[in-house]
Structure 1
Amino acid sequence: MRARDLAYETSTALLANRARTLLTVLGIVIGIGAVIAMTALIDGVKAQLVGQLGLNMSRTVNITCWPPGNQSLDQDDIEEIGQALAGSYEFVTGFTYTSAQASSSTASVDYLNINACRPEYFQAMGYEAARGSLFDAEDCEDGAMVVVLGGSSVKNLFGSPDADCVGQTVRIGSSQYTVVGVVDEGFTYDNDTAYMPSETAVTRLIGQGGYGSWQIIGFAREGSDMYAVAAETESYLYTRYNIPYPEPDQTSFSSDEGYVYVQTAQELIDQLDATTATFRMLALAVAGISLLVGGIGIMNMMLTNVTERIREIGLRKALGARRGDITGQFLLESITICIVGGALGIGVGYGGAWLLASVAGSALGSMMGAGEAIVPVISPATVAMATGICVGIGVVFGWYPARRAAKMDPVESLRYQ
Structure 2
Amino acid sequence: MRIRDLFYETFSAIQANRGRSLLTILGIVIGIAAVISMTALIDGIKASLVDELGLSQSRTVMIDCWTGREITMDDVSAFEAGMPDDYEFITAASYDSGSISNGVTKEQGNFMGVEPKYFEAMGTKAIAGRLFMQSEDDAGSRVIVLDQSIANRMWGSEGAAVGQSVHLGNDDYTVVGVVGGSGMRGGYSFVPLATMRARMSGGGGISQIIGFAREDADMDGIVARTKSYLRSYFNLPAEATEEPTGEGAPEYYIGVTTMASVIEQLDSTMGAFQALMTCVAGVSLVVGGIGIMNMMLTNVTERIREIGLRKALGARRSDITRQFLLESIMLCLVGGAFGILLGYAGASVLAQFASMSSEMGGLAVRPVISPTAVGLASGICVGIGVLFGFYPAWRASRLDPVESLRYQ
Other structure's SS at 2:71 match: coil
In 2, distance between residues paired with 1:103 and 1:291?
56
Query: Which residue of 1 is the match for residue 176 of structure 2?
Result: 181
Question: 8 Å contact 1:152–1:193 — kept in the other structure?
Answer: no
Against the structure 1 CA distance between its residues 164 and 308, is the aligned structure 2 distance closer, same or farther, given a 3 Å change threshold? Answer: closer
Against the structure 1 CA distance between its residues 341 and 211, is the aligned structure 2 distance closer, same or farther, given a 3 Å change threshold? Answer: same
Match of 1:353 among 347, 361, 378: 347
Other structure's SS at 1:61 match: strand
Other structure's SS at 2:211 match: strand
In 2, distance between residues paired with 1:16 and 1:339?
18
Query: Which residue of 2 is the match for residue 72 of structure 1?
Result: 70
Question: 8 Å contact 2:148–2:158 — kept in the other structure?
Answer: no
Q: Where does the alignment leave 5 or more consecutive residues of structure 1 unmatched?
A: none
Question: 8 Å contact 2:320–2:396 — kept in the other structure?
Answer: yes
Amino acid at match of 1:60: T
In 2, distance between residues paired with 1:108 and 1:341?
54
The residue correspondences of 1:363-378 to structure 2 (distance < 5 A) are 363-366=357-360, 368-370=361-363, 372=364, 374-378=365-369
1:243 aligns with 2:236: yes
Match of 2:123 among 117, 123, 126: 126
1:197 aligns with 2:210: no
Other structure's SS at 2:238 match: coil
Question: 8 Å contact 1:234–1:260 — kept in the other structure?
Answer: yes
In 1, distance between residues paired with 2:335 and 2:149?
48
Other structure's SS at 1:243 match: coil
Q: 1:240 offset after TM fit, Å?
A: 3.0
In 1, distance between residues paired with 2:341 and 2:203?
58
Q: 1:119 offset after TM fit, Å?
A: 1.1
Amino acid at match of 2:214: R
What is the aligned-residue RMSD (CA, Å)? 3.0
Question: 8 Å contact 1:103–1:170 — kept in the other structure?
Answer: yes
In 1, distance between residues paired with 2:167 and 2:242?
50
Question: 8 Å contact 2:76–2:209 — kept in the other structure?
Answer: yes
Match of 1:335 among 314, 329, 336: 329
What TM-score, normalized to structure 1? Answer: 0.87
Question: 8 Å contact 1:151–1:190 — kept in the other structure?
Answer: no
Aligned residues: 407
Query: Which residue of 1 is the match for residue 10 of structure 2?
Result: 10
Report Cα offsets for 1:101-146 as digits up to 9, x if no partner.
Answer: 665555666x664422211122222223344433222223333343
In 1, distance between residues paired with 2:54 and 2:384?
41
Stretch of structure 1 that moved more, 229-238 or 288-297: 229-238
Query: Which residue of 1 is the match for residue 278 of structure 2?
Result: 284
Against the structure 1 CA distance between its residues 88 and 183, is the aligned structure 2 distance closer, same or farther, given a 3 Å change threshold? Answer: farther
Query: Which residue of 1 is the match for residue 20 of structure 2?
Result: 20
In 1, distance between residues paired with 2:120 and 2:324?
62
Question: 8 Å contact 1:122–1:128 — kept in the other structure?
Answer: yes
Q: 1:165 offset after TM fit, Å?
A: 5.1
Question: 8 Å contact 1:339–1:391 — kept in the other structure?
Answer: yes
In 1, distance between residues paired with 2:226 and 2:132?
29
Question: 8 Å contact 1:148–1:194 — kept in the other structure?
Answer: yes
Question: 8 Å contact 1:74–1:214 — kept in the other structure?
Answer: no
In 1, distance between residues paired with 2:373 and 2:262?
24
Against the structure 1 CA distance between its residues 352 and 143, is the aligned structure 2 distance closer, same or farther, given a 3 Å change threshold? Answer: closer
Against the structure 1 CA distance between its residues 98 and 393, is the aligned structure 2 distance closer, same or farther, given a 3 Å change threshold? Answer: closer
* Percent identity between the two aligned chains: 51
Stretch of structure 1 that moved more, 94-103 or 342-351: 94-103
Question: 8 Å contact 1:354–1:376 — kept in the other structure?
Answer: yes
Report Cα offsets for 1:184-238 as digits up to 9, x if no partner.
Answer: 04145898855333233333445xx864443101112233343333233223223
Report Cα offsets for 1:246-285 as digits up to 9, x if no partner.
Answer: 3999762877462211112222222221222122112211
Q: 1:81 offset after TM fit, Å?
A: 1.2
In 1, distance between residues paired with 2:76 and 2:297?
75
Match of 1:222 among 211, 215, 225: 215
Match of 1:409 among 389, 397, 400: 400
Question: 8 Å contact 2:52–2:183 — kept in the other structure?
Answer: no
What TM-score, normalized to structure 2? Answer: 0.88
